[in-house]
Amino acid sequence: MKRGWGIILAILMICSLVGTALASSKVGTSGAQFLKIGIGGRATAMGGVYTGVADDVSAIYWNPGGLGGLKSTEVIYTYNKWFQDITHQFAGGAVPVGNIGVFGLGVTMLGMNDLEKRTTDVEIAQGTFKAQDMSIAVSYGKAITASLMLGGALKMLSSKIDDESASGTAVDLGALMKTGVQGLNVGLAVTNIGGKYKFIDEGDPLPMTVKLGAGYKILNEALTLAADVIYPNDNDVLFGGGVEYALKFGGGAIALRSGYKTGVDTGGLSGLGAGLGISYKMFAFDFAWTPYGDLGDAMRGSLSLKF
């Protein structure tokens, strides 16, 4: 246990120093904003507060350290009807390979169609065009000790707006640790580490984020409480809290979830998340509602299977 605490404290110190150095010099707008859109109905219903939970295949996105705790093969597909007719999809899978560790693959796609095209100051559009973003993440996680799991992901990024395109790479690093308190885990993740993301000759830094969180399962794991402190390189420090209560029956459960995260300033109830989940044996369906004020609401549905 002492060794595990030493490792995670060392990681925390290193990542905090890296995060502070990069964030302080990169305050402002970052590129590749699609990387900040959360995946999975369960996590987003909890307000995207998942760093210290990350106990399923969606850890590929939230905290790759959580992959090290998976005991069976899991797959997930998420469809997100985001605001303003934007569609956001994620498909992923994770496979444990004996004592070697857990390997994961996740593909994220964001699409906007029929955008009006104007190359000059004219009233009538000159046609339409598409905008698309994609991320392919190859992930790995492993239980280093009985209480400490580490993981990482290499992401290949690409974007296209009409005839212009951009590409790049990013790295995610994560850790998830069981504490001496039954049911209490702490997590640390640093996501979207990389260089500038360029369209033509102009480039912006990736939205690198340092996240420290806790997840606490009590009442025979029926109640999950989560809290995150989030340090993005293009915003102030953010805070979030989430809760899940699962009513278990036979081989299934019905779960109610909600959460809130600061920093979403689009008016109304923005920053809130709410939803429910239904699982039975190997199947699980999760739904999440996240409002964005005047921009509209996002509705996510995800289907996952465990083998």
E strand or H helix that includes residue 263: none
**146: how many CB neighbours lie within 10 A of its CB?**
9
**Alpha helices for the chain (secondary structure H):** 2-25, 41-45, 59-62
What is the chain's pLDDT, residue by residue, as a tens digit (307 residues)? 455 455 545 555 555 555 555 544 444 568 888 999 999 999 999 999 999 999 999 999 999 999 999 999 999 999 988 776 788 999 999 999 999 999 999 999 998 876 566 566 656 666 666 788 999 999 999 999 999 999 999 999 999 887 788 889 999 999 999 988 899 999 999 999 998 887 767 778 899 999 999 999 999 999 999 999 999 988 888 999 999 999 998 889 999 999 999 987 777 788 899 999 999 999 999 999 998 887 888 899 999 999 9
* Tokens (6 digits) for 214: 């806790």
**294: how many CB neighbours lie within 10 A of its CB?**
9
Q: Cα(48)–Cα(40) distance, rounded to whole angstroms?
A: 9
204 DSSP 8-state letter: E
What pLDDT, on a 0 to 100 scale, did the predictor assign at position 25?
Answer: 46
Q: What CATH number is given to the structural domain containing 84?
A: 2.40.160.60
What pLDDT, on a 0 to 100 scale, did the predictor assign at position 89?
Answer: 95
**101: how many CB neighbours lie within 10 A of its CB?**
20
Task: Give the domain range for residue 257.
Answer: 2-306
What pLDDT, on a 0 to 100 scale, did the predictor assign at position 193?
Answer: 94
Q: How many residues does the chain have?
A: 307
- Total structural domains in the chain? 1
Q: pTM for the whole thing?
A: 0.86
Looking at residue 142, its amino acid is K
Q: Cα(258)–Cα(241) distance, rounded to whole angstroms?
A: 9
What pLDDT, on a 0 to 100 scale, did the predictor assign at position 243?
Answer: 97
